[in-house]
Amino acid sequence: MHSVKRYYDHILLVMGNHELHLINEFEKKLYGDSMTRLKPMKEKAERIVGVTCLDGSVVDINGIKYEGAGMWHDFSYGTSLGYSKSFLYDLWLKNMKKSDSDLIFPRFTRDIVEDFFKAEL
């Protein structure tokens, strides 16, 4: 991050699915679950002056507002098209990469997905 910071005054980060991966037993023991892993990553990045993690938040840089959030979604777009949350969840789970479902803990269930959108880091 410091090497990129040499070229830019501001760096905006948005966490994605790979930041949730716990790739070995050490990480599983250290963090316990994938959401717990995000907080220290965010804190470490934001200790660098000019680095901001966008997590459902807004930052104003020189009069321009930037908004960002992780790649997960709450299915609201699909429900606005008439699909049920249950159908959309099943479709999402079926199409989620195998590596994601094997590396994100706890394993996703309907309740965990819904709780994910209510949680704050």
The pLDDT tens digits of the residues spanning 49-70 come to 999 999 888 999 999 999 988 7
Give the whole-number percent of the chain exceeding pLDDT 70. Answer: 86
State if pTM tops 0.95. Answer: no
Q: What pairing do the DSSP bridges indicate for beta strands 11-13 and 57-61?
A: unpaired
More confident residue, 38 or 92: 38
Please tell me the total number of residues recorded for the chain in this structure: 121
- pLDDT class for 121, splitting at 50, 70, 90? very low
- CA–CA gap between residue 46 and residue 87 (Å, rounded): 38
